């Protein structure tokens, strides 16, 4: 029969063995990406009266240390480290769990373009809400989905919206024609000049002057065909309050404003001549001339603070009213632009351009239609400044690179020059991380004791941020583990020595 201290010593050997097993596992995974070290927590066993020596020791728990591991740069686009609280969310391809969780951000693209971990489990995130997103405002879905980085480049998208964010020099002189006799304080608002600007291809009334400022952008049809749209800006004149017909602040008094005209034309590249040629007519103004006009015209009105207040577009119901009358002059010889006949205020409705493409070899949908947003235009003095001209169409392209922001937003870069935010990574956290079910491969599953997953996005609600092109390595402290190993080994040897001593004592008793 063994003495009580034999059993105590045996429990010490068993506990030390488990402790050594934990240490050896830590050391073996010291280079595993996203690995979290563990420690064996020992607890005494006691029963009987208070003066009982005790019943030995047991391993009460094996606790993981979820402190941050070292983050090292790898330079690989699909490597991501989570700096701070949380776990990446993966869909369990085995189907045993809805989602599994990991700190290992070594991801890849599978054959279908789905972002997965190295085991093939799809990474979860919030996809782009294409119906609500604009070029200037990205909106993501609110439900988890696989992140598909290949689907968005398989189909072209025709341009449906253009945004113009340009400052026009408020000190620009009035734009004058070199061929039309108009007052020195006049503008392009005369019959001949205005008609020529509306339809620049009309050689009967050519406009031989030049625009004060021009900028071009490519737009795309339903086949991804590329067309160049050019915006030409003309300083029309300044209208003082006495001659104005605009009341911007609705105080009952008319306000001073600067009037600019902007004309849009669409061209295609002619490989035979190496030049761009006019290739479209305005489908909104077919009543003005046979086949429509080659230019689309708007008037922009800026108040005396340089802020855009009104946008007017010619009314296409009466050709005579579009060209308008030559501006009358006030007592000071300044032009009066107060006749709105033939012009419609479209400043609050985002006017639409409809272009018929005169290119017989294209099978694209006609017309090419898109809205125009002038909300960010300004007329401050001093300089012309293109702060941003954007459109939302694109050609077919191949995925060539990725970048991920600190907030988990994944931007895909395509060979067609398009860069778009396609998804935002999901991050999860748990009330009791040590109660999560360990699955191996640095993955975990939710358990009843861990609590339900608290889902969010990086940099929100106390969750960590994403470090792109980097990996979080194991948080194992090798030196500390070796010291722990020596100490645990001594515990094992001491417990074994107790058993050896017990055997010696027992033998002494038997020899009596």
The CA distance from 34 to 363, in Å, is 52
pLDDT of residue 169: 96
Please tell me the CATH code under which domain 161-395 is placed.
2.60.98.20
What residues contact 230, with CB distance under 8 A and at least 6 apart?
Answer: 214, 215, 216, 264, 265, 266, 267
* pLDDT digits 0-9 by tens, 130-165: 788 776 788 999 999 999 887 666 678 889 989 999
pLDDT of residue 71: 93
pLDDT of residue 264: 92
pLDDT of residue 240: 82
417: Cα within 13 Å, side-chain hemisphere:
11
pLDDT of residue 190: 59
- CATH 2.60.98.20 maps onto the chain at 161-395
Q: Strand 368-373 to strand 161-167: parallel, antiparallel, or no bridges (unpaired)?
A: parallel
pLDDT of residue 62: 82
For residue 191, give the 3-state DSSP assignment. helix
Q: Which residues of 341-369 are buried (b: 16+ CB within 10 A; e: fewer)?
A: ebbeebbeebbebbbbbbeeebebeebbe
The CA distance from 443 to 105, in Å, is 11
What residue ranges in 405-453 does DSSP mark as E strands?
409-414, 419-425, 427-429, 437-440, 443-445
Q: Which residues, in sequence order, are bridge partners of residue 230?
A: 216, 265
For residue 278, give the 3-state DSSP assignment. strand
pLDDT of residue 330: 47
pLDDT of residue 191: 56
All residue ranges of the chain with pLDDT < 50 are: 1-2, 177-187, 286-289, 317-330, 333-340
pLDDT of residue 364: 80
The CA distance from 89 to 410, in Å, is 15
First to last CA, the chain: 17
pLDDT of residue 74: 93
What residues contact 189, with CB distance under 8 A and at least 6 apart?
Answer: 236, 237, 324, 326, 327, 335, 337
- Determine whether 203 is exposed, middle or buried from the number of CB atoms within 10 Å of its CB (0-12, 13-18, 19+): exposed
């Amino acid at each position: 029969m063994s003495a009580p201290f034999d059993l105590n010593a045996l429990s010490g050997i068993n506990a030390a063995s488990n402790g050594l097993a934990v240490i050896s596992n830590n050391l073996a995974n010291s280079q595993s990406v996203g690995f979290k070290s563990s420690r064996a927590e020992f607890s005494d066993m006691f029963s009987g009266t208070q003066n009982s020596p005790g019943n030995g020791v047991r391993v009460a728990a094996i606790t993981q240390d979820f402190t941050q591991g070292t983050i090292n740069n790898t330079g690989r686009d699909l490597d991501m480290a989570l700096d701070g609280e949380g776990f990446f969310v993966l869909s369990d391809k085995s189907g045993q769990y809805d989602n599994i969780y990991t700190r290992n951000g070594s991801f890849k693209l599978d054959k279908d373009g789905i972002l997965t971990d190295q085991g093939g489990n799809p990474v979860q995130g919030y996809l782009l809400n294409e119906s609500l997103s604009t070029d200037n405002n990205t909106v993501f879905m609110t439900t988890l989905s696989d992140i598909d980085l290949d689907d968005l480049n398989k189909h072209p998208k025709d341009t449906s919206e253009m945004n113009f964010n340009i400052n026009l020099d408020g000190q620009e002189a009035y734009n004058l024609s070199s061929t039309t006799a108009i007052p020195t304080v006049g503008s392009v608002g005369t019959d001949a000049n205005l008609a020529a600007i509306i339809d620049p291809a009309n050689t009967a009334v050519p406009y031989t002057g030049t625009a004060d400022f021009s900028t071009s952008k490519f737009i795309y049809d339903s086949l991804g065909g590329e067309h160049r749209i050019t915006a030409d800006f003309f300083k029309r004149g300044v209208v003082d309050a006495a001659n104005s017909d605009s009341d911007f602040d609705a105080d009952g008094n008319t306000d001073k404003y600067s009037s600019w005209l902007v004309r849009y034309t669409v061209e295609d590249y002619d490989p035979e001549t190496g030049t761009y040629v006019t290739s479209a007519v305005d489908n909104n103004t077919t009543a003005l001339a046979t086949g429509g006009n080659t230019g689309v015209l708007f008037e922009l009105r800026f108040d005396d603070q340089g802020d855009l207040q009104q946008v007017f577009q010619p009314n296409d119901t009466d050709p005579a009213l579009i060209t308008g009358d030559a501006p009358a002059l006030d007592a000071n010889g300044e032009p009066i632009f107060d006749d709105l006949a033939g012009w419609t205020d479209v400043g609050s409705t985002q006017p639409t351009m409809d272009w018929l493409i005169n290119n017989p070899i294209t099978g694209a949908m006609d017309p090419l239609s898109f809205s125009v947003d002038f909300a960010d235009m300004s007329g401050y003095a001093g300089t012309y400044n293109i702060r941003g001209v954007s459109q939302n169409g694109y050609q077919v392209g191949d995925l060539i690179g990725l970048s991920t922001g600190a907030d988990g937003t994944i931007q895909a870069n395509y060979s067609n020059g398009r860069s778009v935010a396609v998804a935002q990574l999901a991050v999860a956290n748990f009330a009791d991380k040590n109660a999560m079910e360990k699955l191996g491969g640095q993955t975990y599953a939710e358990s009843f004791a861990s609590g339900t997953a608290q889902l969010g996005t990086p940099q929100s609600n106390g969750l960590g941020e994403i470090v792109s092109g980097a990996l979080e390595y194991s948080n194992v402290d090798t030196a500390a583990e070796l010291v722990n190993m020596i100490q645990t080994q001594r515990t094992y040897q001491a417990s074994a020595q107790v058993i050896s001593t017990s055997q010696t004592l027992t033998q002494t008793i038997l020899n009596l």
